Chains A and B, each alone.
Chain A
Amino acid sequence: MAVAHTNPPLQQAPPDEPLVAGGHDFASATETVSRVAESRTPKGWYVAFAIAVTFLGVLAVVISYLLWEGVGVWGVNNPVGWGWAIVNFVWWIGIGHAGTLISAILFLFRQKWRTSINRFAEAMTIFAVACAGIFPGIHVGRVWVAYWLFPIPNQMGIWPQFRSPLLWDVFAVSTYATISVLFWYVGMVPDLATLRDRAKTPLRRIAYGIFALGWRGSHRHWHVYEVAYLVLAGVSTPLVLSVHSVVSFDFAVSVLPGWHTTIFPPYFVDGAIFSGFAMVMTLMIPARQWFGLKDFVTLRHLENMNKILLATGMIVGYAYSTEFFIAWYSGNLYERFTFIHRALGPYAWAYWIMISCNVISPQLFWFRRLRRSIPVMFVVSIFVNIGMWFERYVIVVTSLASDFLPSSWDYFSPTLIDVLTYLGSFGLFFTLFLLFLRFLPVLALAEIKAIMPQAHAHHGHEPAHAGHATE
């Protein structure tokens, strides 16, 4: 904790709080992090896992029903051909972006505080992308020919249409999923070796041993490994920016009012990072409590994430107002109608949920006390998750429901199957996440050790102080 300076008037900022609290040495850090995957499974885990698997089962049932019956089981109707499936797709893929931002972009910016949260956030990315991938896949209707999305030779001799943003999306999302898995796995190899070397049973030793690839901490390996990791971070950074840009092209390249705007790529990328950080907070706050990781995920980490939430939330708010301004300034009647319709029409309830959750609720983080309050940040993170879902709902549904011709307008209402499919995707997400918490190293142990003051080769030759590891 910071020393409580009463009223510090324009003096030098106090040194940063240490990134690892609680006076850990290497052995106790190993012990604390490995214990999560090694101790007896807590009863609460079984309860949570049972609930998650139940929802996963619901997902399987509703998807089977969808395949049997057709997309008519959803609330999609004639003007609104993209219902919850696309809303959920954009929402889930957006959540993934925080993981890559934390693991790649903050890495390139040498933000050492990321080491405590990157493994966790990368896992979230992969599971969120898995959930996202389901929705466009089942939305195509005839799932059995979904392979037409890929340039695989078929009996018709025809190729997929490379001028279509929907095809760009296939490549962007599958590349994103693949690179995220590689990045996550490569980062995990040294920590899997730690679990291998601590394993008490032959089964664990063999299982972790295979996935640890025979890692032996050799410095000749570390040298190549660090360069490879840096390169992966370097390629992931433009990748993550491209993925949500391409997702936004699905909308922006069409001619619908409310979609056909050049602000979409940066606006979508920022919204993705915003929602992803909110999801990291939602998951991290309970996990650090339950698994005793408070020394590694300190209030300082949470406060930093809240600052990012505030900044990205403001950018999202700015994008909303720019859209409105351009709708008026462009002089385009349809564009202007669409935006007035969003804020005051039949979907106004969704629009104002979006504004309150995304623009208003993060404003609490202007205050240091609220930024460091666990209950406040947990509630705000949930609000942001909700708000970002409604943002996609507003974008997808309002533009489709009321386009150029009033005679083709219709109101969109979801069905029970829509709701169950969405809830079921949480089942998939949490099933994967709980398995991760149970069996894999939840924090990037090797990286955390490397930022501890003792890791410095000249440690002990000079007096250690609190900000030592943080530069």
Chain B
Amino acid sequence: MRLPHFLRLVTGQLPEDNPFGIVAEFDNPGALLHAAEAVRKAGYRAFDVHSPFPIHGMDEAMGVRRTILPFLVLGGGLTGCVGALAMQIWMMAYDYPLVISGKPLMSIPAYIPVTFELTILLSGFAAVGSMLFLNFLPMLYHPLFKHEPFRKATDNAFFLSIEARDKQFDVEGTRSLLESIGGRNITLLEP
């Protein structure tokens, strides 16, 4: 079975002489935005930009599609809601019915607060879990981490990386494209 790219990466199944990709540095958020646009227009798909904060307008520049995360959260929330109601009704009215202060066994209004809280709780778990899952995090190893200047990506530097798995990728051509759009410190990354 062919593993997804990132799993082949972390399990060392990429051949040693096969580069991971190429990375270039840009001066500021505006330059990075234009670079991302140029790279997308040149036909690249397996590329990414790295910045210390999210850059407004980058979704369109890179052509990032809207994430499905909200639907996963909806699923979590519905599970919490239905699960909490079912749990309370089963426990209070079927498994061990107890009449308290003459209230009906199925006192739905009294079950609303717990239902509400568990809806929120499972939505929150779904939001965080989906974020990690969709982003393949935690991923403690990545070829970019071996690139010394990349440490500034969480400080004040802006990078664009193009992966070798992209069909368009070719070391010389990609390098000259990055040069032509103002990339600096262009480096080939080992896996």
Interface residues of A (CB under 8 A from B): 25-27, 30, 151, 157-159, 161-163, 165, 167-168, 171-172, 175, 178-179, 182-183, 186, 190, 193-194, 196-198, 209-210, 213-228, 231-232, 235-236, 238-239, 242, 246, 249, 445-447, 449-450, 454-461
Contact = CB atoms under 8 A, between A and B. Distances in A.
B184 to A, nearest CB: 17
Contact of A457 (B29, B64, B156): B29
A179 B131 contact: no
Contacts of A454: 28-29
A249 B110 CA distance: 11
Nearest to B95: A159
B78 interface: no
Given A162-B114, A231-B73, A458-B30, A219 B58 contact: yes
Nearest to A191: B154
Contact of A217 (B29, B51, B137): B51
Interface string B48-80: 111111111111001010010110010001000
24 contacts: A26-B52, A151-B91, A162-B88, A162-B92, A168-B113, A175-B121, A178-B121, A193-B154, A197-B152, A197-B154, A197-B155, A198-B155, A219-B58, A219-B59, A222-B54, A224-B69, A224-B134, A231-B123, A236-B124, A238-B116, A454-B29, A455-B29, A455-B53, A461-B30
B25 to A, nearest CB: 13
Q: Which 3 A-B pairs have the closest CB atoms?
A: A26-B156, A228-B131, A213-B138
Contacts of B138: 210, 213-214
A198 B50 CA distance: 17
Contact of B142 (A175, A210, A216, A455): A216
Interface of B: 28-30, 33, 36, 48-59, 62, 64, 67, 69-70, 73, 77, 87-88, 91-92, 95-96, 98, 100, 103, 107, 110-111, 113-114, 116-118, 120-121, 123-125, 127-128, 130-132, 134-135, 137-142, 144-145, 150-156, 159
A254 to B, nearest CB: 12
Given A159-B92, A197-B155, A228-B130, A457 B135 contact: no
A462 to B, nearest CB: 11
Given A171-B113, A223-B67, A216 B153 contact: yes
Contact of A219 (B51, B103, B132, B134): B51
Chain B at the A interface: SS class: helix
Given A222-B51, A227-B131, A242-B116, 6 more contacts: A30-B155, A163-B111, A182-B128, A214-B140, A219-B51, A219-B54
Nearest to A26: B156
Nearest to A25: B156
A218 B131 contact: no
B170 to A, nearest CB: 23
Contacts of B91: 151, 159, 162
B70 A231 contact: yes
B156 A30 contact: yes
Given A217-B51, A218-B50, A172 B67 contact: no
B30 A459 contact: yes
Contacts of A198: 151, 155
Nearest to A169: B113
A193 B53 CA distance: 12
Contact of B117 (A30, A223, A242, A249): A242
A219 B92 contact: no
A27 B54 contact: no
Contact of A197 (B134, B139, B151): B151
B55 A179 contact: no
A454 B145 CA distance: 26
B139 A213 contact: yes
B120 A238 contact: yes
Contacts of B145: 214, 216
Given A172-B113, A175-B117, A220-B135, A215 B154 contact: yes
